Amino acid sequence: MQCEIIAVGSELLLGQLVDTNSTWISKQLAAAGIESYFQTRVDDHLDRIAQVLRTALSRSDAVIVCGGLGPTQDDISREAIAQIMAVPLLPDPVIAARIQELFRSRGRRMPENNLRQAEVPQGATVMPQMPGTAPGLICPLQGKVIYAVPGVPWEMRKMVAGTVIPDLRCRAGTPMTIKSRTLKTWGASESRVAELLSDRVNELAAKGNPKLAFQASGIEGIKVRVTAMGAEEVAVDRLLREEESHLRGILGDLVFAADDETMESIIIELLREKGFSLGVAESLTGGMVGARLTAVPGASDVFRGAVVAYASDIKYALLGVPEGPVVSESTAKAMAQGVRKVLQADIGLATTGVAGPSGQEGQPIGRVYLGLAISGKSEAHQLYLPGERQQIRQFSVISLLNILRKQLLNMV
């Protein structure tokens, strides 16, 4: 089973948008064991879309067309697919009703244009997932298949994960199971992680299964991915479990999460487990720590809130920081203690530092102090972070959360 991806959109060809959709889809195909050797991008032009579809169908068993399913005149993937299938586009009353209902539920009038999205090539099936107004299509064609999904990432992802991949696996008919497990680490460089695991990498290379791969992921840390395959799902799961426990033995508390877990979901879990509540005082991060923690459903059980004390006088007045330079160890500590009290939390965290565009109080861009306060005790960590404004802010957030994580792990 070979499947290729076609991304449709003039903005891709003009360099105005990076094609991350194809990257995401190809990762899913690889994980599902489906071969994929070609990707194409083409502009919003009927003949050219049809032309690349023909080329793709001549060499692959399945084609995923991403984009061009919107309501406007330049959304013509539906037309191109109908042309290739040599069938008419027919209005689907069920889809039309769903689109109308979607607008009604939001209290908005539906423009006539949107009914174009309810047109389906004769013989095509509509995917069950429909998070937006664009239906996904399964279009059979001489023993092969074209999947059409919208270019809006979160809509596309639901359809690819929910329909396209299962359908492809079913068509492939091979009972091979490929699964992977990703361990996320923070606190060591990629080469250090590779060094720690080099013996294990060699052992596994000799065995052939499972396989290890490293990936540096910026503010998501260094990831170690274990991929195992086999005929029996139970055996594959066991291989993964055993390898994970082996790797965790070597990497210790560098590993902060696995797969869909994030630093923030782990923090919320640990806080809940230990029965602590948390408050945060943010300066250079401006709300990012709170934003990340509250991305976790159920964060309200343990997260009390945050004070974004961007102006210095708010640090003094609201958090009780003694007046003076604010980019300092003592300010980080005082902010963490202050926010604990103001928000009546068991634990207080704090960030203060220089994100740029210019230095501050004689401190260089990238100088950051992170504070942690638990009951009467407080500590501060000094960092010097590379990069630009947004990167310094993001690294500050995850570094702070990692300090809290290690603290919580060490508490009974």
Query: Of residues 55-114, which lie at the interface with a copy of itself (CB under 8 A)?
Result: 55, 59, 70-74, 102, 105-108, 110-114
x/- map, 222-261, a copy of itself, by CB under 8 A: ---x-x----------------------------------
Of 70 and 121, which has the nearer Cβ to a copy of itself? 70
Q: Binding a copy of itself by CB under 8 A: which of 88, 153, 166, 359? A: 153
Shortest separation between residue 123's beta carbon and a copy of itself, angstroms: 27
In terms of Cβ atoms closer than 10 Å to its own Cβ (0-12, 13-18, 19+), residue 157 is middle
Of 209 and 215, which has the nearer Cβ to a copy of itself? 215
Residue type, 328: S
* Cis bond upstream, residue 210 (ω within 30): yes
Neighbours of 169 (CB within 10 A): 17
Q: For residue 361, what are its two tokens?
A: 């109080």
Q: Does 162 bind a copy of itself (CB under 8 A)?
A: no
Give the angle subtended at the CA of 148 by the CAs of 142 and 149, to the nearest 5°: 160
Q: Which span sits near a copy of itself by CB under 8 A: 51-59, 77-85, 325-333, 400-408?
A: 51-59
Beta bridge partners of 241: none
Q: Binding a copy of itself by CB under 8 A: which of 189, 199, 231, 241? A: 189
Q: Binding a copy of itself by CB under 8 A: which of 61, 96, 270, 287? A: 287
CA 16 to chain CA centroid, nearest Å: 21
Shortest separation between residue 279's beta carbon and a copy of itself, angstroms: 9
Shortest separation between residue 286's beta carbon and a copy of itself, angstroms: 3
What number of residues does the chain have? 412
By CB under 8 A, the residues from 290 to 329 that bind a copy of itself are 290-291, 293-295, 297-300, 303-311, 313-314, 318
Among candidate residues 131, 124, 210, the one with its CA nearest the CA of residue 167: 124
- Beta strand ranges found along 83-176 (DSSP E): 89-91, 119-121, 125-126, 137-141, 144-149
By CB under 8 A, the residues from 392 to 411 that bind a copy of itself are 393
By CB under 8 A, the residues from 31 to 50 that bind a copy of itself are 36-45, 48
Give the angle subtended at the CA of 46 by the CAs of 40 and 48, to the nearest 5°: 40
Q: Which span sits near a copy of itself by CB under 8 A: 17-25, 86-94, 327-335, 369-377?
A: 17-25
Q: For residue 110, what are its two tokens?
A: 């539906």
